[in-house]
Amino acid sequence: MTDNASVPALRADRLGKRYGHAWGLRDCTFAVPAGAVVGLVGPNGAGKTTLLALTVGLLAPTEGRVAVFGEPSRAHTASTLARVSYLAQDHPLYRGFTVADMLHLGRSMNPGWDQALARGRIDALGIPLRRKIKELSGGQQAQVSLTMALAKRAPLLALDEPVASLDPIARLDFMRDVLAASADTGLTVIIASHVISELERLCDWLLVLNGGRLQLAGAVDDLLAAHTVLTVPRQTPDADLPGRRISRTDSDRHSTVLVAVDGGRLAAARSRQPGWQAEPAGFEQLVLAYLRRPPLGVTAAERALVGGARPAGEAVAP
Average pLDDT for residues 7-18, to the nearest whole number? 96
Residue 37 has φ and ψ, to the nearest 5°, of -110, 110
Report the range of poorest mean pLDDT among 119-123, 176-180, 252-256, 271-275: 271-275
pLDDT of residue 296: 61
User: Do 40 and 174 belong together in one domain?
Assistant: yes
Of 200, 220, 240, the residue at which a domain comes to its end is 220
Domain harbouring 94, CATH code: 3.40.50.300
Summarize pLDDT for 106-121 with one digit per residue, the tens: 999 998 999 999 999 9
Would you say residue 315 lies in a domain?
Answer: no
Average pLDDT for residues 155-161, to the nearest whole number? 93
Range of the domain at 127: 10-220
User: Do 248 and 203 belong together in one domain?
Assistant: no
User: Do 244 and 171 belong together in one domain?
Assistant: no
- Would the pLDDT of 122 be above 70? yes
pLDDT greater at residue 23 or residue 5: 23
| pLDDT over 70 percentage in the chain | 90
Name which of 273, 190, 193, 167 is nearest 230 in CA terms: 273
Summarize pLDDT for 51-100 with one digit per residue, the tens: 999 999 899 999 999 999 998 887 666 677 788 999 988 778 999 999 99
User: Do 136 and 243 belong together in one domain?
Assistant: no
- Would the pLDDT of 141 be above 50? yes
- Would the pLDDT of 1 be above 80? no
- Would the pLDDT of 289 be above 60? yes
pLDDT of residue 246: 94
User: Do 69 and 94 belong together in one domain?
Assistant: yes
Q: Mean pLDDT of all residues in the chain? A: 86
Of 220, 245, 271, the residue at which a domain comes to its end is 220
pLDDT of residue 316: 33
Q: How confident is the model at residue 297 (pLDDT cuts 50, 70, 90)?
A: low
Would you say residue 22 lies in a domain?
Answer: yes
Q: How confident is the model at residue 317 (pLDDT cuts 50, 70, 90)?
A: very low
Average pLDDT for residues 141-156, to the nearest whole number? 92
Would you say residue 4 lies in a domain?
Answer: no
Summarize pLDDT for 200-241 with one digit per residue, the tens: 988 999 999 999 999 999 999 999 999 999 999 999 998 889
What total of structural domains would you count in the chain?
2
Residue 157 has φ and ψ, to the nearest 5°, of -115, 120
User: Do 90 and 160 belong together in one domain?
Assistant: yes
- Would the pLDDT of 307 be above 90? no
| pLDDT over 90 percentage in the chain | 59
User: Do 65 and 213 belong together in one domain?
Assistant: yes
Q: How confident is the model at residue 306 (pLDDT cuts 50, 70, 90)?
A: very low
Domain harbouring 276, CATH code: 3.30.70
Other CB atoms within 10 Å distance of the CB of residue 98: 16
pLDDT greater at residue 212 or residue 308: 212
User: Do 189 and 233 belong together in one domain?
Assistant: no
Summarize pLDDT for 165-209 with one digit per residue, the tens: 778 888 888 888 888 888 888 899 999 988 898 899 889 999 999
Report the range of poorest mean pLDDT among 118-132, 150-164, 193-207, 292-306: 292-306
User: Do 135 and 208 belong together in one domain?
Assistant: yes
